[in-house]
Structure 1
């Protein structure tokens, strides 16, 4: 069951946060049939590739998962798209469908094409899914949290500079936790504080904006990293040393 859930989790992370463009997400929120159908096709394709079904019977859970994803996305389209709460509810609902699918069809992965790799591939999938959720999903979550202050007069920096900084810092935090070096996060905080000190000192609004965004970004990355460790500990390990959750 855990291997099946892990495979489906990676498929979901790829479909929602790697293979879905901003334009597709925007059009999907307007219920545009083409982008919505393309997204669901990608959801089904990634789930199929991740589990490697070998019989027609294996198609049923994947079709059910794709249908559930469609229903959840349609419901989300009725909610505000620029707020964090709908995003979290949407992702929680998707995770629930992944868990339900794995519970109802626990051997979906173990009886698929990738069955000979059960002792190592699910662990790699867990690490890949965790990294995507820590970095890419975290970017969306933090961006939605900060959207309420997006129209304030904040200093302009490099195009997509803040996005890339957040991506890198969450990736580093994920790496630090998984390599059992969480103390290195303190150096990351110190470095960012030094670089932002002058701006925060002279502009309280910008300082508060940076602090809120940084704390949210760090918290998301830590949550994703420790959740990945918990999932990793339930799978056959890769022979590499990761800290126990």
Structure 2
């Protein structure tokens, strides 16, 4: 029994909304905004960014952007003011929050599937679509992946015996670089190169294993999580592109 085919127009509208979402959440939302999000002005600035970006990327179809922004307000409002502080910054809360946003974007795209083809991007939408999905996938893989890995490994950080201090923010940058390379390798159809990346990192991390079991396990958890997230999100981005460019 075959699955019901997905309307390419719906996938196109979803791709535009997805890029608006990841830009608003992971590019234009600074760490200072996250820390002060309980302040009404900061909170509404974020929601306003979602609305502006969604409207722009849909080509001026503000009705869909308004629905998405109101849903974003509700979801973020629950996370910001209702969820207890000790649960708010956990990986589970992050994943549930992002899943709720994705469901909202899917429903909005299903409600008005041809939105992007009716706006001022209609004539160039087929040309612009691959770069839109490419950028959205890259941000999700590299930037959002950093939050996921960081939250997953946070509880192990104090237990890991890493007596020798490294360069400031070097771990974060290494993670971004490795996820960027994985994204590139998978996107261009050379996933076997990921194996060489794993081997290279294993060699470079030999000294960490000498610091003790806790330190080596901490590195392994972070590395495997980073690789798994990068592979999963990159393949999903490629799948979305194939659906969006399919002919009806």
**TM-score scaled by length of structure 1:** 0.91
Match of 1:76 in 2: 79
Gaps of 5+ in 2: 1-9
Q: Distance in 2 between matches of 1:111 and 1:142?
A: 39
Asked if 2 retains the 8 angstrom alpha-carbon contact of 1:83 and 1:147, the reply is no
Task: Return the match for 2:219 from 210, 219, 227.
Answer: 210
SS in 1 for 2:116: coil
Shift of 1:107: 1.3
SS in 2 for 1:110: helix
Asked if 2 retains the 8 angstrom alpha-carbon contact of 1:82 and 1:147, the reply is no
Task: Return the match for 1:66 from 33, 45, 69.
Answer: 69
Match of 2:96 in 1: 89
Shift of 1:4: 0.5
Task: Return the match for 1:37 from 36, 39, 44.
Answer: 44
What's the CA shift string for 1:191-244, capped at 9, x where partnerless? 11111112213321110000000000000000011001100111238xxxxxxx
Shift of 1:23: 1.2
Match of 1:175 in 2: 184
Match of 2:158 in 1: 151
Task: Return the match for 1:138 from 134, 138, 145.
Answer: 145
Q: Distance in 2 between matches of 1:65 and 1:198?
A: 48
100-109 or 152-161: bigger deviation: 152-161
SS in 2 for 1:146: helix
SS in 1 for 2:203: helix
Match of 1:105 in 2: 112
Asked if 1 retains the 8 angstrom alpha-carbon contact of 2:157 and 2:218, the reply is no
Gaps of 5+ in 1: 238-245
Asked if 2 retains the 8 angstrom alpha-carbon contact of 1:3 and 1:109, the reply is yes
Q: Distance in 2 between matches of 1:192 and 1:26?
A: 33
Asked if 2 retains the 8 angstrom alpha-carbon contact of 1:134 and 1:221, the reply is yes
Q: Distance in 2 between matches of 1:68 and 1:178?
A: 31
Match of 2:199 in 1: 190
Q: Distance in 1 between matches of 2:128 and 2:192?
A: 29
Structural RMSD (CA): 1.3
Runs of at least 4 residues off by over 3 Å:
none
